[in-house]
Structure 1
């Protein structure tokens, strides 16, 4: 296998000199542009969030730059638009690290055994490369080292585990379980215990020279969905060197249409026929993503490490399209369906068929097509096994009602209000048990409420 050090030595040869787009034929350029567009799709969706949170200090989502947590100590509401399909169970804490100059140390406090939390770390490819929390490292206090692909220093004492990232910029979407509004002070106390320190600060050493300043262009959706996606991709590849051994040949192909780490993208200098081919390839790529999205309903295979995703870039794109920053399936299982709130419907869980969760489960309803929480007078956006007042049948079964119309006073405790039109329901199971991961357990189907059962 080619070593990453050898690859690093070849980078200059691979991408030196002027943009090599003229080497590609028109037909080759279109096919390569399609492949590159699909490859870049998740990365650019991630970049949109990164730019708002780290670069644009005027954005409402700004977290304060690198190396700072921004905590949300309450459940999401319809007004929160940072991400699509936000969960209403675990308030978020966001942070980003620049690993170029030195590693960072992430410290967590001792978290009460009954409280679930997870630190999900993702790279610029959107791979979930590291997990800390209740399932993986436990609820004890500890210090964890995060290092970039080029770091080769020694690990100091007091570090429980080292996580190596493929990219020099990484982010976390950390979730801390919340059990009702009265639990907010407890969540805040846990969040205050999350700490980020450069390695030099952790060791009380003189810090190294800072990394060079970087130019992060503003995110423009129209550019990201056109041939100009190449400009964004080139910026991101600069922070993803050396390439994974499995992608060396892919990067050589991409270089033939002007793609490479840090390369300038100036389409005015391209042959017009070649530029039209690249435009067509980008359009082909988006069409392929749209077609795949129309037939992708199971999100379980969409989130994980590079090894789990097996360089299946359309699958990676689906993860970004269906729910950016979804957890790997070992951490949380996702399922669901699309319904119509104009029709009062229900889901029936037999007593022995409740979601098999090690920690807890929930059902959250979203509007379509924006996939945000639905504003309703009940201010109820989800239900789950931690919901107060949930009514079970005498035999231990559970019926959940979904629709714009109330199911009646006797059933309202089990009702998730919906818009008059289409909606999406997402089931989340935290700490899924083997019967769920194996496919043995299935989410019950949505059934219409019989007229005799309506109020």
Structure 2
């Protein structure tokens, strides 16, 4: 049967799961058509697809970050709302299955979170003295998802101090009393505090440390009048369906608060050729059918590349991918948009390798997918071969589909080194964890990590990994490797 071009296009569009059902023809507000009018070398259909693909890869971390910021500090009706900009929120508990704004969330350390608005003036962050035995970390992450600085046990020590965070355009002088200045690459920035919890009874001590985290504008720190307030922003509401329809419109919005760097010049120039960029308003639903198809196919191709780099990231060590999940600053990524997108999709806001390493296991030691509906598993650390860290380590289990923590009958989402005194070691001093959906019995319950009746994956976190042998560093090349996950039935 002969298939017309229009019928072919409609059929192809129906296969793009990230986009909604489309009808209609050309629209005069087509952003790509408007961009073509201003270009001497307007992109053809194939090039439009290629630009959309690269743009999706480039923009995914930026849009994901905006989604988290919107949920945490803009939408007061969000179940994930924490606090307004420049106000710290101290969470007096660890993350559970009810926390859904961030994928692969850390459930080791009670979080304190802070979203900075640096448009008006810099912000001073103050930390208290923290006892030497307790690990804490303050990670500074900009709207590009670059980690541009650290305060804490590893980076600055456990002594008290005042630190200045400035926006990309700030040109002032460092005030007296400030230990260090950190420059964000964007006007809005996340500050993520991690404070070690030794056990449930330790929560009051964590709260005392959290109470010492202080935030104030530079003018208040200097006892000077505050500068005029920044203009009010009409933040576009965000949800998963809106992102599917208008991904690039959200990217347009976020880019206006992120001054371009030399390494971004090429990709931003390409995006401008199809009507995407800071201050623009790319509306997918106003594209003509042919442009819809090419942009949609480009986004789909970009998504496939991101999934592929996640799957192939790092080195295979007994079924664990080691070295594939690592955060860093702009210089670390050096314009590698695919690596940045893969990290964001696998676990946004990951630490630098020096701060934490994240071996990821989606398969057992034989390469078979982890599936709690079919099998039980064990993970055994040999005596004297626990993860080598200066702080602590943990093994956390996540749902294979949602990438979130899983509701379970004992409210246990991980096993970590602070739990060792209450766990049972084998006669030879090794530690075996029982990873399965049903209880392994009273004798093994202390070592049970509940799994879902479905696929899952494990994330091994090594906080402040040791640099001397045995070590997991450098990433993927270290002398210590995680043991394989064994299927027992």
TM-score (norm: length of structure 1) = 0.90
Cα offset, 1:165, TM superposition:
1.1
Q: Which runs of 5+ in 2 are unaligned?
A: 1-32, 314-320, 363-369
Asked whether the 8 Å contact 2:380–2:431 carries over to 1, the reply is: yes
Q: Alignment partner of 1:358: what SS?
A: coil
Partner of 2:317: none
1:14 counterpart residue number: none
Counterparts of 1:118 and 1:19 in 2: how far apart (Å)? 47
Q: 1:291 and 2:295 equivalent?
A: no
**Contact 1:124/1:240 (8 A) holds in 2:** yes
8 Å Cα contact 1:302/1:318 also seen in 2: no
Q: Is the CA contact (8 Å cut-off) linking 1:302 and 1:309 kept in structure 2?
A: no
Is residue 398 of structure 2 the alignment partner of residue 396 of structure 1? no
Matched residue, 1:146? 165
Q: Which residue of 2 aligns with 1:32?
A: 51
Task: Report how far residue 272 of structure 1 moved.
Answer: 5.3
Asked if residue 436 in structure 1 is aligned to residue 469 in structure 2, the reply is no
Cα contact 1:343–1:403 (8 A) shared by 2: yes
Question: Aligned partners of 1:27 and 1:363: how far apart in 2?
Answer: 45
The answer to whether residue 253 in structure 2 is matched with residue 235 in structure 1 is: yes
Aligned to 2:456: 423
Q: Does 1:191 align with 2:210?
A: yes
1:100, 1:211 within 8 Å by CA — same for their partners in 2? Answer: yes
Q: Deviations over 1:142-185 (max 9, x none)?
A: 11000111110111101000001111110122111112221111
Higher mean Cα deviation, 96-105 or 293-302? 293-302
Note closer, same or farther for the CA distance 1:448–1:29 as it changes in structure 2 (3 Å cut): closer
Query: Tell me, what secondary structure is at the counterpart of 1:357?
Result: coil
Structure 1 stretches lacking a partner, 5+ long? 1-17, 451-455
Greater CA drift, 127-136 or 299-308 = 299-308
Q: How far apart in 2 are the matches of 1:142 and 1:123?
A: 22
- Counterpart position of 1:12: none
Matches within 5 A, 1:193-342: 193-226=212-245, 228-241=246-259, 243-266=260-283, 273-296=290-313, 297-298=321-322, 300-338=324-362, 339-341=370-372, 342=374
> For residues 280 and 411 of structure 1, what CA distance do their matches in structure 2 show?
50
**Contact (CA 8 Å) 2:164, 2:182: kept in 1 or not?**
yes
Matches of 2:383 and 2:278 in 1, distance apart?
A: 55
- RMSD of equivalent CA atoms: 2.0
Query: Which segments of structure 1 move beyond 3 Å, counting only runs of 4 or more?
Result: 266-276, 290-302
Moved more, 423-432 or 410-419: 410-419
Q: Is the 8 A contact 1:178 1:187 kept in 2?
A: yes
Asked whether 1:384 is paired with 2:399, we answer no
In structure 2, the partner of 1:57 is: 76
Q: Give the TM-score normalised by structure 2.
A: 0.84
Q: Counterparts in 2 of 1:85-96, with a 5 A limit?
A: 85-96=104-115
Residue 3 of structure 2 corresponds to which residue in structure 1? none
Contact 1:344–1:407 (Cα < 8 Å) also in 2: no
Deviations 1:42-96 (A, max 9, x none): 1111111111111111112222211011111112222222322222210111111
CA distance in 1, matches of 2:285, 2:408: 50
Taking the aligned partners of 1:258 and 1:401, their CA distance within structure 2 comes to 53
CA contact (8 A) 2:80 2:99 kept: no
Are 1:19 and 1:255, in contact at CA under 8 Å, matched by a contact in 2? Answer: no
SS in 2 for 1:420: coil
Q: Secondary structure at the match of 1:64?
A: coil
State the SS of the aligned residue for 2:295.
Answer: helix
Question: 2:326, 2:358 within 8 Å by CA — same for their partners in 1?
Answer: no
Query: Is 1:124 the counterpart of 2:143 in the alignment?
Result: yes
Shift of 1:371: 2.3
Q: What's the offset of the Cα at 1:267? A: 5.2
Aligned to 1:445: 484
How far 1:270 moved relative to its partner? 5.5
* Equivalence for 1:8: none
Asked if the contact 1:107–1:143 (Cα under 8 Å) also holds between the matched residues in 2, the reply is yes
Question: What's the counterpart of residue 350 of structure 1?
Answer: 382
Partner of 1:4: none
Give 3-state SS (helix, strand or coil) of 1:166's partner: coil
